[in-house]
Structure 1
Amino acid sequence: MAGMIRKSLNEPEETRRFEDGKGKLDLINLESGGVGRAVFEPGWQWSRHVKPIAGTESCQAAHRGVVLAGRMVIVMDDGEEQEFSESDYMEVAPGHDAWVVGEEQCVILDWQGFVDYAKRQD
């Protein structure tokens, strides 16, 4: 590993857009994995705006990150539910749906689950 690495999410190596213009994921790639910043627009829901891209019944990515702005509800396949808001750290196992709460964008920085998130499985 180099002594220092500098990359900017303002100049991502990849951008993935969600269905219906309901947000995007900016991604930078590192040897240890990807780091992503996702912007989820009001009205966004995983099962409506990412499921058609992912092709799975629920989100199969594990997430570890921080909510930078807004609010999001995440519901696990077993029914467990939690709302996350600004400055909350989150760890979420695979097998969930999620949606934005309110009229503010939800912005999340994730350093575990965004490498394959919203990526078409061809």
Structure 2
Amino acid sequence: MGVNIQRFAEDDFCYLSTVGRQSGRVHTIEIWFAAQDETLYLLSGGRDKSDWVKNIQQQSEVQIKLGDEHYQGEAHIIEADSAEDTLARQLVADKYVPRSSDDLTEWSRDSLPIAIVIRNRIQ
């Protein structure tokens, strides 16, 4: 069973670290997210052309920083038109649409949804 990270649900962003598929170096990005139980949902506006998505496709183990805490997790691309796809888009849109002055309709509809199941906290 994963780790419940719900206490971070209202944070504006998290830090996602992936291992570069060619360099082998750790790459960290700041990214919007939504949390439900032990899962983080992210949307990639660049879809599968984003480097971090390509890195996840090569190696699904990732690290996440939420607040001052670090976690390990396993990422996967969410299957299109699945219940999880609908959930991910809804959770992220519900969190960020009210906070943004930009129209996020296309972004929330057209982005590639990614799920990260948090496995454990890194001490």
Q: Which has the higher helix share?
A: 2
Report if TM-score (shorter chain) is over 0.5.
Answer: no
TM-score by length of 1: 0.32
